[in-house]
Structure 1
Amino acid sequence: MSKSLPLRAAVLLWLEHARSLPPTPQAITDLALSVMPEWDTLEEAVAAAAPRGEHPDLYAKADGDWIPNFRTLLGTSGLGEATRLIAQEAPVPVSEVADSFVAFCTHPAPVPERWLLLNATFPPGTCIPLGRHTLQTFTLEELLQAVPMPELNGLRPHGLNLGLIEGAPLLHVPDPDYVVTRHPAWFDFTGPRAEAQHWQALLPLMLWDSHLLRVDSVFTVQRGRHFDLNPGAVPLTIHSHEDRHGRLREFDVRDTGEFHVPDQDLPALTAFCTAISAKIDAIMAGATHQRRIPRRRARRLERAARHVLSAYQRTHADYGVWEVEADELHLDYVIALEALLISPNATDNEGIANNVRSRAAALFLTPAEQDKTEALVSRAYKARSTYVHGDVIKDQTELKKLKELRALRHLTLQVILRWLILTPSDTDDLTPLLDAAAQGTGREEHIDQPLRAFFATTPPRTSPADITTP
């Protein structure tokens, strides 16, 4: 603490000097501030309190020497903005600003994180571990602690309205290899899309409730340093109400979509996600296994999840899919089914459609659901073949096609869930058990009992039609 006192005094002196600066922001840019004589005193205080050996992120090379980086100290920290606001006689709390700047310089640099904004509603205080990820709803105070110089919130003329994402479900995960730039982009197009990169955290949520869940935006957070959510990346709905004078007032509300979790469902959701995340992790641990089955099984689970998530991102309502993409989404769901229901040890492609149909049906417990599943998979394969061969499905209206696609989406989610419940994470394979069950052998022991046990102890929001609940 004693090392920080001279730095704090230097910051307070700098902020006092800001009162004599011209109020025009263009006249006191960060570059202009960095060449003022008073900056040298603050720079020396930073070097003494936060030497480069302990805080290399604060330094840059100039003329062969390492010196405190004014772009970081003024721009990233928010000190430059505080200086301009004081020059404009804004009510800046200088003591709190000084404390924030000292903490910025002397505390270890936080690990970068990727944050995903979901189009859903969760109860306040939600905090669900999902493997390496965490699903959390932040209070306004918690969000303020993540932005640089939180004392300036509400004073910045173009600041982010954190109220738009207060209480929003944010899926966050550490990303230590991510290089935070001065002006990061709100959506990173340099790699796989977000739903593909973060499928292991998104999939348990989707399996718990079939209502649509999508990623609305992705941004980088380095808590207390960078918070790059672009306000335009928050989908909004305009609401209106009459004030007490009868005048119509409009205000923005975050679009929450169809995925809503009430307070009473949060414990069940948490338990379900914990169980499913453990099963996903166990299967994905085989990705580097030397044996063929665990290695291929892990890859196929990832492939199935990515195709389902890709289809979800293009499904904007329960029956809402662009007609020109409906056939393509059929293909996504069929690929997901094939990835899971073809043996990881298979060496040929004979009878794929028949195998997928019979194995998918074997995952259900009643003859009625088995027959329904076989019929739906058969129709899905017919639609897939029509699309791949360049033909057009002529015997379906648009509404019928969307209903069929919705049913296929729900079936695919059920197949993924049941596959996860039943699939061993060792070198055994599920498909022989499904083939035997389809022939009436070993069904109660290997299929029915494990499914009933899981759904009895860790049910999703809605119990499937073939699962009888007491």
Structure 2
Amino acid sequence: MSKEPVLREAVLSWLEHAGGVSPKSQSPGMLMLQPHWEDVVAAVAAAAPRDEHPDLYTLGKGDGTLNQWTLLVESGLAYVAGLIAVGAPLSLAEVADDFVAFCTGPAPVAERWLLLNGTFPHGTRIPLGQYTLQTFTADELLKTVPMPALHSIQPWSHALDLITGAPFLHLPKPGHKVTRPPDRSDATSPHPEAQHWQALLPLMLWDEELLQVDSVFTVARGRCFDLNHQDVPTRQDQHTGDAETEVRATGDFRVQAADLPALTAFCTTISAKIDAVMAGRTHSRRIPKERAQRLQDAATRLLDAYQRTRHHDSVGETDYGKLLLDYVVCLELLLRSSNDRGGRGISSTLQNRASALFLSPEEQNHARALTREAYNARSCYAHGRAIKEQTEKEQQEKLQAVRLLTQKVILRWLILTPSGPEDLEPLLDAAPGPGREEHIDQPLRNFFTTTPPRRRPADIAPA
């Protein structure tokens, strides 16, 4: 007789006795004392040896001791026993099949999942370096949790329904310990999205609307998805009459099915450019190393400010100054290098280089004026001087304008930055000049013609 049927029969035999224990007495210790539990443990050891399923065994034990808490609680068996005790209608055959799959399925690999507040079409699956942007069907999500047979009555069932079709960035974390509760190092940091900037940045550069991280999870498919209802922002959606349904709250970042091929091409190209810059971290020369660090610092600072600009909500004078400071520092990181000497003329340098990234006189003048105004406000804030008085609406409009300029500068910097030991600043300083067409104008036109973001830039003529 094969090992899996033996395990299945042992579980069914144990459930007959465990379900008869009073609900008030159903502690894990009491359930382990019920007849046939030792048979279950022995059958698991035979069907799922430690060298194939180390996650089922107690860490640090040389004798291959099974972790009975994992088998009983994390698998959902204890929960099943409680349901049987109160007479809940269950298919014990399906429960037994789920437990066998829990024990003998592929060893889980920990993943980090970032829930985004955007809306993407069904079937979205876009590689972003080591990450994948994906919308999951109900069946796909059900396979991430133990005991799918209990979906309709599990505590997490409503939360799974809420995130069906939601966009996730997920990243494998081989060797990462899967814990329950999961490692919250991402979720408890002030701005967890900054740790995942290489995947988020291409999406941010695709559209002007804000795309933000709502929650961060550790997932081991088939083992645990520590998902609580409170982790998913919701709103009440009224369909017909007075009936309201709770649905996932989303932002303004929306991708239609018709846009998916263009988004995929854009993200693939930008991810490759980010990877090319970041490869300089291991380069033997100074400029590639510095360039990689400058990109990372600029992107994480932009994300920090980006996350605090949620839905363009009102911000106080202090936050307004901080956000402007973050955006201007992004521009400084990208448009100045260690080759620039002295502290004077920073504003002029930023204005000239920012404007050189645009092709039409109108866009150049706009970039120059906005950079100058933002830098002046940044200097007032940094030196404790009052920023020019503005109404709340004017502040919001200015913040959005500076954010959009910063995003455009990062995108054009990525398009134009050389992958070798040269740097971009001398090319920008030489414009206008004989090399501008070759090194700036034509690469920008080529990129925005073949791989444009959602909105074609105003300085690029229609194809």
TM-score range, shorter chain: over 0.9
Give the drift of 1:157.
Answer: 4.9
Q: Any idea what SS the aligned residue of 2:65 has? A: strand
Match of 2:349 among 355, 359, 362: 355
Counterpart of 1:264 in structure 2 is 258
Q: Any idea what SS the aligned residue of 1:210 has? A: coil
Q: Within 2, Cα distance between the matches of 1:343 and 1:64?
A: 55
Q: Within 2, Cα distance between the matches of 1:37 and 1:241?
A: 51
Q: Are the equivalent residues in 1 in contact too, given 2:156–2:228 (CA < 8 A)?
A: no
Count of aligned pairs between the two proteins: 463
| Alignment partner of 1:451 is 2:456 | no
Kindly report structure 1 stretches of 4+ aligned residues shifted beyond 6 Å. 61-64
1:333-412 counterparts in 2 under 5 A?
333-343=327-337, 345-346=339-340, 348-412=342-406
1:225-244 counterparts in 2 under 5 A?
225-243=223-241
Q: Within 2, Cα distance between the matches of 1:63 and 1:227?
A: 26
Match of 2:135 among 119, 134, 137: 137
Counterpart of 2:8 in structure 1 is 8
Q: Any idea what SS the aligned residue of 1:239 has? A: strand
Q: Within 2, Cα distance between the matches of 1:212 and 1:158?
A: 28
After superposition, the C-alpha distances for 1:373-408 in whole angstroms (9 at most, x for unaligned) are 111001111110110111222432222122111100
Q: Within 1, Cα distance between the matches of 2:313 and 2:46?
A: 62
TM-score, structure 1 normalization: 0.94
Q: Any idea what SS the aligned residue of 1:395 has? A: coil
Q: Any idea what SS the aligned residue of 1:369 has? A: helix
Say if 1:60 and 1:203 are closer, same or farther in 2 by CA, change over 3 A: same
Counterpart of 1:29 in structure 2 is 27
Q: Within 1, Cα distance between the matches of 2:416 and 2:59?
A: 57
Match of 2:415 among 417, 421, 424: 421
Match of 2:267 among 269, 273, 284: 273
Match of 2:283 among 282, 289, 300: 289
Q: Within 1, Cα distance between the matches of 2:277 and 2:418?
A: 8
After superposition, the C-alpha distances for 1:14-68 in whole angstroms (9 at most, x for unaligned) are 223334232x2x4212232123343112111112222223322212279985422
Unaligned runs of 5+ in 1: none
Give the drift of 1:368.
Answer: 1.2
Q: Within 1, Cα distance between the matches of 2:314 and 2:457?
A: 23
Say if 1:158 and 1:192 are closer, same or farther in 2 by CA, change over 3 A: closer
AA of the residue aligned to 1:38? H
Q: Any idea what SS the aligned residue of 2:362 has? A: helix
AA of the residue aligned to 2:453? P
AA of the residue aligned to 1:300? R
Q: Within 2, Cα distance between the matches of 1:29 and 1:261?
A: 48
Mean alpha-carbon deviation: is it higher for 347-356 or for 174-183?
347-356
Counterpart of 2:46 in structure 1 is 48
Q: Are the equivalent residues in 1 in contact too, given 2:156–2:229 (CA < 8 A)?
A: no
Counterpart of 2:205 in structure 1 is 207
Q: Within 2, Cα distance between the matches of 1:323 and 1:94?
A: 61
Q: Within 2, Cα distance between the matches of 1:140 and 1:446?
A: 48
Q: Are the equivalent residues in 2 in contact too, given 1:314–1:321 (CA < 8 A)?
A: no
Q: Within 2, Cα distance between the matches of 1:133 and 1:8?
A: 37
Q: Within 2, Cα distance between the matches of 1:391 and 1:207?
A: 33
AA of the residue aligned to 1:59? Y
AA of the residue aligned to 2:449? A
Counterpart of 2:216 in structure 1 is 218
Give the drift of 1:114.
Answer: 0.5
Q: Are the equivalent residues in 2 in contact too, given 1:185–1:228 (CA < 8 A)?
A: no
AA of the residue aligned to 2:456? S
Give the drift of 1:323.
Answer: 4.5
Give the drift of 1:349.
Answer: 3.9
Counterpart of 1:81 in structure 2 is 79
Say if 1:372 and 1:258 are closer, same or farther in 2 by CA, change over 3 A: same
Give the drift of 1:361.
Answer: 0.4
Say if 1:187 and 1:124 are closer, same or farther in 2 by CA, change over 3 A: farther
Q: Within 2, Cα distance between the matches of 1:123 and 1:135?
A: 11
Say if 1:111 and 1:158 are closer, same or farther in 2 by CA, change over 3 A: closer
Say if 1:323 and 1:93 are closer, same or farther in 2 by CA, change over 3 A: farther
AA of the residue aligned to 2:91? P
Q: Are the equivalent residues in 1 in contact too, given 2:205–2:407 (CA < 8 A)?
A: yes
After superposition, the C-alpha distances for 1:319-354 in whole angstroms (9 at most, x for unaligned) are 654554111000110111111111354465443222
Q: Any idea what SS the aligned residue of 1:238 has? A: strand
| Alignment partner of 1:330 is 2:319 | no
Mean alpha-carbon deviation: is it higher for 415-424 or for 46-55?
46-55
Counterpart of 2:144 in structure 1 is 146
Mean alpha-carbon deviation: is it higher for 444-453 or for 4-13?
4-13
Q: Are the equivalent residues in 2 in contact too, given 1:90–1:155 (CA < 8 A)?
A: no
Give the drift of 1:177.
Answer: 4.0
TM-score, structure 2 normalization: 0.95
Q: Are the equivalent residues in 2 in contact too, given 1:210–1:410 (CA < 8 A)?
A: yes
Q: Any idea what SS the aligned residue of 1:129 has? A: strand
Q: Are the equivalent residues in 1 in contact too, given 2:14–2:35 (CA < 8 A)?
A: no
Say if 1:38 and 1:218 are closer, same or farther in 2 by CA, change over 3 A: same
Give the drift of 1:97.
Answer: 1.7
Counterpart of 1:436 in structure 2 is 430
Q: Any idea what SS the aligned residue of 1:121 has? A: coil
Give the drift of 1:409.
Answer: 0.4
Q: Within 2, Cα distance between the matches of 1:257 and 1:408?
A: 20
Question: Alpha carbon RMSD of aligned pairs, Å?
Answer: 2.0
Mean alpha-carbon deviation: is it higher for 90-99 or for 203-212?
90-99
Match of 2:182 among 163, 174, 184: 184
Q: Any idea what SS the aligned residue of 1:198 has? A: helix
Counterpart of 1:126 in structure 2 is 124
Q: Within 1, Cα distance between the matches of 2:198 and 2:155?
A: 39
